[in-house]
């Protein structure tokens, strides 16, 4: 068996023209009544399965955020793991990103890497840069996995810290430079830049060359898709993972939620293909 | 019933002269053979119970790190929650800090706050500053909880990002200034500074006044306890939460592990009382 490799899986999806990433932020309270089952675990898993089935041919990645699962305790973690198993079963070519935004000292990051890659079995994880290079090593040494460092996030006020000028250079560019020059020895470093900041996205693309960039915020956070594509694609018109979460998975609150998710994902996919 | 309040619980422990925080980084592989039970969940819970019983009169807080629990999936999360329940039962005056180092956009941080405070029931959480003020609001609005922002961490190379000069001021001081001037409206902001950096700890103390500072790294990471106390205590000789994890909980690999943990915790406690 050939080991799964995040970058290779991603490249195979980009070849198909797929750039959309569906964020499985499956907040229990927002799951439609019609999708409810006897237990929390079944409700979340069955909702996710329908979303995955409805969108799996359109995406370059799925991206569950563990916050929405761990708030439900052991049942939530079980549903998260089963969701990942299900993606690997029905869409084995689609890489899975755990949007965990983890960042601790080295021995603790080793435990987080074990949790993400060995227990859950995802292909990539998002991580925090604030502690510096040294504690990220337990992530980077997993050469077949994608390690996506937060660079410029999508939230309002992201620039408060990330835009701080360091000898005239904003901090997010310093992080992008570290990603390009120091953290990519194993070819597995990626960065995250919010779609709500297209100028900063373009700046980062210039620094990181053809490194994959995960971008979030085109849906509920109102990022502009065309601007995002133009700013974020690399020279070969690849390199972007364009996430939408709530706008796709909660596109309808009715029985037609999976159909509505597909419709929204198809619309985003078409819009992106037009730019390409 | 009066609601638990992190700051009040902490003050009541400081009054007793307790400054030690025991970090429950209960990595399964390092739990002594003699403490093993039939299941992972029972092994971790029973190990933690013995450590808690052996040290609860000596501490100002307990601090589990979720990394070591989530790597074990649902069983790990169950053990974490049961550990927290146990502390609240046998040591109701000892506050519990979840050392989760979480940091995401606002709606996701709301889920993390729910996970920590409502599902697990801890009194405080550690958080990342990189995304800025706005997404931290779902944490800060929980006025009775402690929100501990990473300022200068204990790891080698922490200064790579945290020491970056912003108009001549290192970034960790910028964070400390934000904590003191902007994030403490509800009186529940705290900061984390590594004991391996006593000069930086002293700098931060000067900025934050009598704000609680969580400091880590005096045990396995070789921070100097006397220097830490002198640099980190506030004007009233309070304000510090001095964490030791592995050096206490894994003090012995034999049947005497709980006794050895108490011995180590007592030694640290005595050393701290000497400085006071």
Instruction: Please give the C-alpha separations between residue A24 and each of A66, A92, A172, in angstroms, as whole numbers.
Output: 9, 17, 26
Residues of A in contact with B72 (CB under 8 A): 119
Q: State the average pLDDT over residues A27-43.
A: 96
pLDDT for A67 beyond 60:
yes
- B118: which chain A residues are within 8 Å (Cβ-Cβ)? 71
Q: pLDDT tens digits for B52-105?
A: 999 999 999 999 999 999 989 889 999 999 999 999 999 999 999 999 999 999
Model pLDDT, residue B181: 97
Supply A222's token pair: 């109102």
Q: What is the DSSP letter of B117?
A: I
Counting residues of chain B whose pLDDT is more than 90, the rounded percentage is 93
Tell me whether residues A155 and B134 touch, CB distance under 8 A. yes
For A165, the closest of B74, B111, B166 (CB atoms) is B166
Residue A165: phi, psi to the nearest 5?
Answer: -85, 125
- Under an 8 A CB cutoff, do A77 and B70 touch? yes
Question: Shortest CB distance from A130 goes to which of B73, B106, B129?
Answer: B129
Q: How confident is the model at residue A173 (pLDDT cuts 50, 70, 90)?
A: very high
The whole-number pLDDT of residue B220 equals 72
Of A97, A98, A174, A167, the closest CA to residue A133 belongs to A174
Q: What ipTM score was computed for the predicted complex, to two decimals?
A: 0.96
CA distances from A274 to A212, A240, B132 (A): 21, 15, 35
Place of tokens 């929204």: A264
Residue B2 confidence class, pLDDT cut points 50, 70, 90? low
Mark yes or no for CB contact B165/A162 under 8 Å: no
Test mutation, B161, B175, B177, chain A, max A CBs within 10 A: B161
Q: Give the minimum alpha-carbon distance from A65 to chain B in angstroms, rounded to a whole number.
A: 8
Give catalytic status of residue A145 as yes or no. no
- Mutation target to probe the B interface, by most B beta carbons within 10 A, among A82, A111, A118, A171 is A111
| A276: confidence class by pLDDT, cuts 50, 70, 90 | confident
Q: What is the pLDDT of residues A88-126, one digit of tens each?
A: 999 999 999 999 999 999 999 999 999 999 999 999 999
Helix (H) or strand (E) holding A64: strand A59-64
CB B207 within 8 A of CB B231: no
Supply the Cα-derived Rg of chain A in whole angstroms.
18
Active site residues of B: 101
Q: A185-206: string of b/e by CB count within 10 Å (b at 16+)?
A: eeebbbbbbbbbbbebbebbbe
Which positions 60-79 of B are in contact with A (Cβ < 8 Å)?
65-68, 70-78
The fourth-level CATH superfamily of domain A6-270 is Aldolase class I (3.20.20.70)
Task: Quote the CA–CA distance of A154 and B105 in Å, as a whole number.
Answer: 8
Per-residue model confidence (pLDDT) at position A71 = 87
pLDDT at B90: 98
Q: At what angle do helices B257-275 and B40-55 cross, to 10 degrees?
A: 40
Angle at B115 between CA A197 and CA A163, to 5 degrees: 20
Chain A neighbors of B156, CB-CB under 8 A: 134
* Residue B179 binned pLDDT confidence (cut-offs 50, 70, 90): very high
Are B134 and A111 in contact (CB < 8 Å)? Answer: no
> What's the pLDDT score for residue B1?
52
Banded model confidence at residue A266, pLDDT cuts 50, 70, 90: very high
Closest chain B residue to A27, measured at CA: B111
Q: Which pLDDT tens digit goes with each residue over B17-40?
A: 999 999 999 999 999 999 999 999
In the predicted model, what is the mean pLDDT of chain A? 96
Q: Are A101 and A64 in contact (CB under 8 A)?
A: no
Q: What is the pLDDT of residues B250-274, one digit of tens each?
A: 999 999 999 999 999 999 999 999 9
Q: Which residues of A touch B181 (CB under 8 A)?
A: none
pLDDT value of residue A163: 97
Which residues make Cβ contacts (< 8 Å) with residue A16, sequence separation at least 6? none
Q: Is the pLDDT of residue B208 over 80?
A: yes
Contact B164 A150 (CB under 8 A): no
Q: Is 60 exceeded by the pLDDT of residue A1?
A: no
Residue A43: pLDDT band (50, 70, 90) is very high
Fold of B6-275: TIM Barrel (3.20.20)
Q: Which residue has the tokens 């592995």?
A: B246
Cβ distance of B67 and A119 shorter than 8 Å = no
Kindly indicate the confidence band of residue B136, based on its pLDDT and cuts at 50, 70 and 90.
Answer: very high
| Residue bearing tokens 């029972």 | B42
Instruction: Provide the residue ranges of all domains of chain B, joining segments of one domain with +.
Output: 6-275
């Amino acid at each position: 068996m050939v080991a799964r490799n995040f970058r290779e899986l991603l490249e195979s999806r980009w070849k198909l023209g797929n750039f959309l990433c569906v964020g499985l932020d499956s907040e229990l309270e927002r799951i439609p009544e019609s999708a409810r089952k006897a237990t929390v675990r079944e409700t979340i898993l069955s909702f996710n399965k329908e979303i995955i089935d409805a969108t799996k041919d359109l995406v370059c990645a799925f991206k569950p955020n563990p916050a929405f699962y761990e708030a439900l305790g052991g049942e939530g973690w079980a549903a998260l793991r089963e969701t990942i198993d299900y993606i690997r079963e029905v869409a084995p070519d689609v890489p899975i990103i755990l949007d965990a935004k983890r960042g601790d000292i080295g021995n603790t990051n080793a435990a987080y890497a074990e949790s993400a890659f060995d227990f859950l079995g995802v292909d990539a994880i998002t991580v925090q840069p604030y502690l510096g290079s040294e504690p990220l090593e337990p992530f980077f040494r997993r050469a077949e996995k994608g390690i996506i460092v937060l660079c410029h996030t999508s939230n309002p006020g992201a620039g408060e810290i990330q835009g701080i000028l360091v000898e005239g250079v904003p901090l997010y560019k310093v992080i992008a430079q570290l990603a390009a020059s120091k953290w990519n020895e194993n070819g597995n470093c990626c960065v995250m830049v919010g779609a709500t900041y297209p100028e900063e996205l373009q700046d980062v693309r210039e620094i990181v060359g053809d490194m994959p960039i995960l971008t979030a915020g085109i849906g509920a956070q109102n990022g502009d898709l065309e601007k995002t594509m133009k700013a974020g694609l690399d020279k070969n018109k690849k390199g972007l993972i364009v996430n939408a979460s709530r706008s796709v998975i909660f596109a309808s609150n009715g029985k037609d939620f999976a159909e509505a998710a597909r419709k929204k994902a198809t619309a985003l996919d078409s819009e992106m293909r037009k730019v390409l």
